[in-house]
Amino acid sequence: MNALAGRVARSFARGMATYDGAALAQRRIAARLFAAYRRAAPGHRPTRVLEAGHGSGHLTRHLLGLRPARLWLNDLAAPELPGVAADYLPGDVAEVALPGAVELAASASMLQWVEDPARVMARLCGAVAPGGWLAISGFAPGHFPELRALGSRAAAPSYLTGAGMAALLPPGWQGHGAGEWRIVLHFPGALEVLRHLRATGVNGCAGQFRSPGALRDFMARYEARHGGARGVALTYVASWLVARKAA
């Protein structure tokens, strides 16, 4: 495991107990990604399915509805899902042995955390049998604009647009949809935004607060700039791609 993967694993391990309840946007993204895949492949009935970055199971729950004969679940930090019978593949998706000839490879809200997204895309695509599908989402360069507008320097290492993900597809693949989704969450105040980020294992303001005064100043500026009738906003910008491998 490289240094970046180790840091990501430790961060999400700390937030694992609170992640599922706090990951409101990630839950919506998983549902939208699965719906995009079903629209592109309405008659597809995969018997062999691989998910990378299963986390607390937001996308897994949709994949289980396909009733695959075999399901492989990979994650860097998350434990096995209670009650979910699968072949678990713990570890870095860039390094762990993946199954071959799957008919669907899927991943939601994971790609932005990997150091080399081209390598991960190649590995996932290589695991797919001819005629099979890929459904994947990450986060785009415009992610968390409210934090960036206030000078936050924290960011995941591999923000990509949907078109950027499509550009990483190997030869022999055809895109069947790509783009971005904006999901805006509202909170009572800036403190609740920071608590939300911490609960999902993300430190959106890493290294920014050197004193209690700096924290108070940040929260005041956040609420003044991004507050409204519904509270203060935090915008997730997710990128997604659905593609098919030539038969």
Euclidean distance between CA atoms 219 and 12, whole angstroms: 24
Q: E-assigned strands of the chain?
A: 48-52, 70-75, 87-90, 102-107, 128-139, 173-187, 232-245
Q: What is the pLDDT of residue 126?
A: 98
- What pLDDT band is residue 69 in, cutting at 50, 70 and 90? very high
Q: What share of the chain is helix, strand, coil (3-state, %, to 5)?
A: 35, 25, 40
pLDDT digits (tens, 9 = 90+) for 124-145: 999 999 999 999 999 999 999 9
Catalogue all structural domains in the chain, each as residue range(s) with its CATH number: 3-141+155-182+238-245 (3.40.50.150)
Average pLDDT in the chain: 91
Residues 174-213 have pLDDT tens digits of 999 999 999 999 999 999 999 998 888 765 444 466 688 8
Percentage of the chain surpassing pLDDT 90? 79
Give me the pLDDT at residue 18, please.
65
Say what the pTM is: 0.90
Q: Positive or negative, the Cα torsion across 139, 144, 149, 153?
A: negative
pLDDT at 22 over 50: yes
